[in-house]
């Protein structure tokens, strides 16, 4: 489930078609599973953000809630990588690509 979502987000971001937030929003609108329901909270948090509220902090809280909800290593690792990308201002596209690769490797073991 996470692997497919990260693949989708990575393709959308790498193609330049969407940024990460909008890729997640599109995924939530087009997919019905436990992961998409959890990411609905992420989308809701960003859309309900107050004007004076820092969007990076809203993302941090929303992603952390997802990691806590699932409490599985793959989701936690993904959230940590996404937050590190945000904090260090790294390319989210590159981060998504790396996470997709790691998830596919884990599935092959």
Q: What is the pLDDT along the chain (109 residues), one digit of tens a residue?
A: 899 999 999 999 999 999 999 999 999 999 999 999 999 999 999 999 888 788 999 999 999 999 999 999 999 999 999 999 999 999 999 999 999 999 999 878 6
Predicted TM-score (pTM) of this structure: 0.89
> What residue spans define the domains of the chain?
2-108
- DSSP label of 30: H
Residue 1 has what pLDDT? 87
Q: Looking up tokens 């948090």, which residue turns up?
A: 45
| Exposure b/e, 31-49, CB count within 10 A at least 16 = b | eeeebbebbebbbebbeee
Residue 7 has what pLDDT? 95
Distance, CA of 99 to CA of 83 (rounded, Å): 12
Question: Could you tell me which of 21, 31, 28 has the C-alpha nearest to residue 56?
Answer: 21
Find the farthest-apart pair of alpha carbons in the chain and give their distance in angstroms, rounded. 46
């Amino acid at each position: 489930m996470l692997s497919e979502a990260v693949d989708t987000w990575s393709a959308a971001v790498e193609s330049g078609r969407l940024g990460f937030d909008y890729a997640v929003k599109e995924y939530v609108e087009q997919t019905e599973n436990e992961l998409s329901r959890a990411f609905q909270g992420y989308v809701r948090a960003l859309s309900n953000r107050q004007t004076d509220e820092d969007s990076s902090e809203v993302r941090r809280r929303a992603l952390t809630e997802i990691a806590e909800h699932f409490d599985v290593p793959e989701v936690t690792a993904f959230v940590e990588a996404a937050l590190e990308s945000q904090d260090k201002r790294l390319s989210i596209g590159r981060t998504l690509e790396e996470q997709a690769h790691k998830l596919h490797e884990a599935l092959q073991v």
